[in-house]
Amino acid sequence: MSTRLFGGKLSKKNPWKGWMKYLPINLAVDGRPVLVVGGGEVGERKVRALLECGAKVRLVSRELTPGLAELAAAETVEHLGGQYRTEHLSGVDLVFAATDEHELNARVSREAQERGLWINVADQPELCRFIVPAYFRRGDLTIAVSTGGRSPAAAARIKSRLEQEFGPAYGRFLDLMGLVRIRVLAEGRGAKENRTVFRRLADLDSDLLKAVAQNDRAGIEKILTQILGPDYTLSSLGFNPAGRADHE
C-alpha cells in the first residue's frame, strides 16, 4: 500500500522516494495581484509579507484580525468579502489559502491548480504547488531555510541560529557593496580585475565588514581607498553607514 504526498507516491520500502523536490527561487511580486484566503494570524503574516514585497493583495475572509481590518479599512488590501468564490481566482498570479477549514483549503487548491495558478496552503504541503521557506532579511540580504516540508520546526530553529550570526550590519554592508559595484563597473575595468576586487571586498572575515558593523567611517574609507583608489570616499559614494534601517 502506498500513500500520495507532495504529488508523489511514498512506499513502505522507501518512504522518501516520492517526496517532492523544490526549486529555490526568489519571486518578484511587485505590483502583481495575489489572492489570500483566510484572515487569521497566519493570513495576516502572509499578507504583510506580500505587502512588504509590493504585491497587490486581495483578501477573502469572514473574520479579520485587527491588523487586517486596519489594512482593509485603509484600502491597503482589497477585501473581497467573507465568502470565497471561484471567480476570485480570476486575474491573480499567486494564491495563498490560510483558513482553518481543510475542505475550503482543498477546494481553493484544486480550483487554483485547475487554472494553472501557483497555490500555497498553510501547513498542508500536499495541497501546495510551492512552499514558503523560513526566512529573514538584513536589508537586501535574504536568508531562507527550507527542509522541503519535512520539518518546518527544524527550519525555524536553523533560521533563529542564523539570525544570531548574520546581524543588521550585513544589510548596511550590502548597501555599500552595491554602490561600489555601480562605480567600479562604470569605470570599464576588465572582468578579471573586477572579480578580484569584488571578492576581496566581499570577504565576510574582512576588516571592511567589521568597520561597517562598528559604524567606523574612517576605517571604512581607509579600506576602500587602499583597494580602489583615493576617489572612493564615503561622500563620493553617497554612503552613510548608519543611514538605512535594516529589516529585523
State what percent of residues in the chain have pLDDT above 70: 90
pLDDT of 5 over the 80 cut:
no
pLDDT digits (tens, 9 = 90+) for 190-245: 999 999 999 999 887 778 999 999 999 999 999 999 999 999 999 999 998 876 54
pLDDT range class, residue 13, cuts 50, 70, 90: low
Single out the residue of 130, 63, 117 nearest to residue 88, CA to CA: 117
Q: Is the model's pTM score more than 0.85? A: no
pLDDT for position 189: 85
Percentages of the chain per state (helix, strand, coil), in multiples of 5: 45, 15, 45
Cα–Cα distance for residue pair 56/29, rounded to 1 Å: 8
pLDDT range class, residue 246, cuts 50, 70, 90: very low
State what percent of residues in the chain have pLDDT above 90: 78
pLDDT of 10 over the 70 cut:
no
Single out the residue of 201, 205, 222, 215 nearest to residue 243, CA to CA: 215
Classify burial at 92, counting beta carbons within 10 Å of its beta carbon; exposed 0-12, middle 13-18, buried 19 or more. buried
pLDDT for position 204: 78
pLDDT range class, residue 14, cuts 50, 70, 90: low
